[in-house]
Structure 1
Amino acid sequence: MSRLVVVSNRVADPRKAAAGGLAVALGDSLQQTGGMWFGWSGTIVEDGPTGEGELHQQQAGQVLLATIDLCRDDHDSYYLGYSNNVLWPVFHNRLDLASFSAGYVTGYRRVNQLFARKLMPLLQPDDIVWVHDYHMIPLAAELRAMGCKNRIGFFLHIPLPPQIIFASIPQHDWLMRSLFAYDLVGLQAQQDVQHFEHYVRNEAAGEVLGDNLYRAYGSMLRCAAFPIGIDVQEFEALTQAKDARDMYETMSREYSSRRLLLGIDRLDYSKGIPQRVQAFRELLANYPENRRSATLIQIASPTRESVDAYADIRRELESLCGAINGDYGELDWMPVRYIHRVVARRRVPGLCRASAVGLVTPLRDGMNLVAKEYVVAQNPDDPGVLVLSRFAGAAEQLKEALLVNPYDVHGTAEVIQHALSMPLEERKLRHQRLLARIREFDVHWWRNAFMEALRNAPGEHRVAR
């Protein structure tokens, strides 16, 4: 059996429960084949020479964890610079927040070349390589340039933007050429595949061959949607565990006379949190029966706080929440409970189960697994209602959720009111259908579907030019 080699920006030990569902799902295959997980160690060497990094190897059961240190210049240009100040905003349709500094792409390519140099000697001839996310787009091209003939697949965890947005990146042609060094490119949603196809046709003058095959730049690859799921059994077990049950009981007791609305996000401009809070204000203004009876709990965990855009959104959110509480709050009721810190994952199912409405309203998102976790955590006899942005990848699968345009604050408030007043039988029917689909297309289905498609990909293994 071919060994699986997983490559990602950060490496997780799949034996640890805290590693999350993705690490556990990939760990299943890695353990079966005696695989390897390769990526950045998380260590920044302040005085290290640019372009070099020490390789660390650690055995985790049957899995080899191989990681590299990065020097400060490489980290800042590859990770903070190109990955998070160019690709992240552009791929989330935020050109106004992108910084196209010439030095960023140089560092991004240099680090991918470094990864390729360190990875190549560790590869065995029949290894199957699975590269993850936007940090590593050019990795296959760098490996091919070194003579790598292995099957290599790539999965993008964030959205692929429309052709015209993607083409705003000064290096867009190079990025797409790099993708054609892979045998298989997996995207979250069918809409992302359409964006890929439009680019291949109109920018790359490529061919659409049918059966998800595309030819451009002298190479052929398969590109298809593989919507990522969650580990349903693991999250159900988490929901029944003591920490989640304690959280549910605490919230049910403390808010016995209130109805809870819940948002759980990283504090990121793509998540639409200010628009969500504005919609809640609109709900209180237009439907006064919700005053003193509805409470929004918004958890916004810290992320990338050194980036100016994130500091700006934090200030905006704190101002909005303060204004709502000041205008509508009573001595015994605060409309918004805003928490700017990480809530332990083991407590999250209890929060979800205690909430009448789950608000997952990103402006743009690759998938959004919180939406699926919210559904799984519900009591099937009295489930809450999922309000979901139509711009989240999950909207293609979770059609029984109440879909909203998060830019339409008034319309979102109307939908939230609908959710709060939905009859029990309708809530149960929607929940049953959502849960069935989430079970069918879980994280294990995602892994198996991608791996089968990669094994059956054309496998031309040509060097990208």
Structure 2
Amino acid sequence: MDEGGNLNSLIVASNRVPSPDQGSGSQGGLAVGVMNALSRTDGLWLGWNGNTEEAPSRDIDHYDFDGVRFATFPMSVEQHRLFYIGYSNEVLWPLFHYRPDMIEYNREKERGYLEVNQLFADNIRSVMDESSRIWVHDYQLIAVGHLLRQSGVEAPLGFFLHTPFPPWDLLRILPEYENLLHYLSAYDTIGFQTDLDLYNFRDCMKRGIGAEIEEDGTIVFDGRRSQADVYPISIDIDTAREMAEQGENSPTGQRLKRSLNNRPLMIGTDRLDYSKGLYKRFQAYERLLERFEERRGNVIYIQISPSSRTDVEEYAALRTTLERVTGHVNGRFAEYDWMPLRYLNRGYDRASIMGFLRQSRVALITPLRDGMNLVAKEFIAAQDPEDPGVLVLSHLAGASRELADGALLCNPFDIDGVAEVMERALSMPLEERRARWQSMMTVLQNNDIHQWSENFLAAMNQNAEQRREDQ
């Protein structure tokens, strides 16, 4: 990984960091990729510890976990309200997921966002040295690079956006949208999940703040040169496969198998979030049972959706809606020995989830908009190659850009269309299932989570070196 330069002091900044209480096996895709990069360097991961205090604090807690050094700190209750609940999740999240109707903007939230981004920048400066390279993650921390540059930091800076990036006509709904583009121009390397996100970003830089886009894609603005490119995040294939096999054979996995009573399982496992398309997915399942009567009593759909962002009003309302629809579907179709829809508003450990995925004939990944969606890739890795399941995937998920040849793509807004795709997946013969699975597995093998982090860091080092030569 050191081909692009010295990586002996890599600092990763993200809103949240892995908890040593969870253990490495429970971490998701971002954590796996970053932990891999940091464990191979003298690196440090910096972020919020999840705690809130009455007054702002400058305290930083240092600890080691899984061979990686961490630096974490609290936020004040007010910082959390304005930065995390407010600007990050009531403004940027809906904006970046093409939901302008959900945006709740005010200037106080924007000030809170900058205050916490400044806190991150100050804490990064307190732990960095002259060899440091800094990799910032996701929409909560867009301004960190800009604030570091303002303070005189000239270290290599990289930023990766895990969500979609909106098109120009949507971005300019945001008051002071130009600020976001200014902030992003501070980074040497900016990474996106898909080619569509990259296109939108370059177009916004050009239209929004008059940046110049050179023939090789270099972005020139205010005397700085940045490189933006596509780095689709992926998973650790071997770990996912091992966990799926363990999960299937665990007491939890065997209990699920007995409860299915040889019926095919369709599964969805998503955070409780309006971007995931759960309400329309439930409607499509109801339509499946309406139109394809032979499925009644002969399929089970399990939806696992632990609550998230419970302080945000829209999320509580979504939970109530899904509970109501679950009752409606089960009340309409259930028999004394068959419950068609099992909606579980709770979390399970990752090994159990992977075991559930391995036992599923169909995975339902139908977000209304998603940056990538790693569950789609985990489902592929979890499958038995001799008897693999079928991936039903929204064409509005970033994963569809890589997995289109193997997945059954659908439009989550088309209820009848999704129901028809569900039926096609349930009816698919083994030979076709194997061919589609192999096509998607090859994609994963060519770009796993380790390749993702190596590619990004190599580009970040190269682009920073080019900037130094140009100065």
Confirm or deny that 1:263 pairs with 2:268: yes
1:292 aligns with 2:300: no
Distance 1:58 1:258 in 2: 47
Of 29, 35, 51 in structure 1, the residue corresponding to residue 37 of structure 2 is 29
Residue 459 of structure 2 is matched in structure 1 by 453
1:361 counterpart = 2:369: no
Structure 2 residue 222 is the aligned partner of structure 1 residue 217: yes
Q: Quote the Cα distance in structure 2 between the aligned partners of 1:383 and 1:176.
A: 44
Contact 2:46–2:72 under 8 Å retained in 1: yes
The alpha carbon displacement at 1:98 in A equals 0.9
Q: Tell me if the contact between 1:219 and 1:460 (Cα under 8 Å) persists in the aligned partners.
A: no
Once the two structures are aligned, what percentage of the paired residues are identical? 39
Q: Cα deviation per residue 1:384-433 (whole Å; 9 max; x = unaligned)? A: 10000001000000111000000010111111111111111100000011
CA distance in 1, matches of 2:206, 2:461: 26
How far has the Cα of 1:295 moved from its partner? 1.3
Cα distance in 1 for residues equivalent to 2:393 and 2:453: 25
Farther-moved stretch of structure 1 (24-33 vs 121-130): 24-33
> Could you tell me how far apart the structure 2 residues matched to 1:403 and 1:137 are?
32
Q: Secondary structure at the match of 2:435?
A: helix
Tell me, which stretches of 5 or more residues in structure 2 are unaligned? 1-5
User: Who is 2:198 aligned against?
Assistant: 193
What is the distance in 1 between the residues matched to 2:371 and 2:281? 18
Size of the aligned set, in residue pairs, is: 459
Would the aligned equivalents of 2:247 and 2:253 in 1 still touch at CA under 8 Å? no
- Contact kept? 1:13, 1:65, Cα under 8 Å: no
**Distance across 1 between alignment mates of 2:324 and 2:66:** 49
**Given residue 402 of structure 1, which amino acid in structure 2 is its aligned partner?**
L
Cα offsets for 1:173-198 (capped at 9, x unmatched)? 00110000000000111110011121
- Which residue in 1 is equivalent to 2:284? 279
Say which is worse superposed, 33-42 or 171-180, in terms of deviation: 33-42
Q: Deviations over 1:427-456 (max 9, x none)?
A: 000001111111221100100110111111
- Deviation for aligned residue 1:288: 0.5
Distance 2:249 2:117 in 1: 41
Q: Deviations over 1:77-99 (max 9, x none)?
A: 11111111100111011111111
- Identify which of 81, 85, 91 aligns with 1:86: 91
Q: Does the 8 Å contact 2:248/2:358 carry over to 1? A: no
2:17 paired residue number? 11
CA distance in 1, matches of 2:66, 2:309: 32
Which residue, out of 364, 379, 391, partners 2:396?
391
Checking the alignment, whether the CA contact within 8 Å between 1:183 and 1:460 is kept in structure 2 is: no
Matched residue, 1:148? 153
- Residues 244 and 351 in structure 1, CA contact (< 8 A), matched pair in contact too: no
CA RMSD across the alignment:
1.7
1:47-101 CA-to-partner distances (Å, cap 9, x unmatched) read x14xx43222224475331122211111111111111110011101111111111
Decide which moves more: 24-33 or 349-358: 24-33
Q: C-alpha distance in 1, partners of 2:67/2:262? A: 52
Task: Describe the shift of the 1:461–1:172 C-alpha distance in structure 2 as closer, same or farther (beyond 3 A).
Answer: farther
* Larger displacement relative to structure 2 (396-405 or 55-64): 55-64
TM-score, normalization: structure 2? Answer: 0.94
Indicate conservation of the 8 Å contact 2:11/2:134, yes or no. yes
Deviations 1:178-222 (A, max 9, x none): 000000000111110011121122222222213331122332200
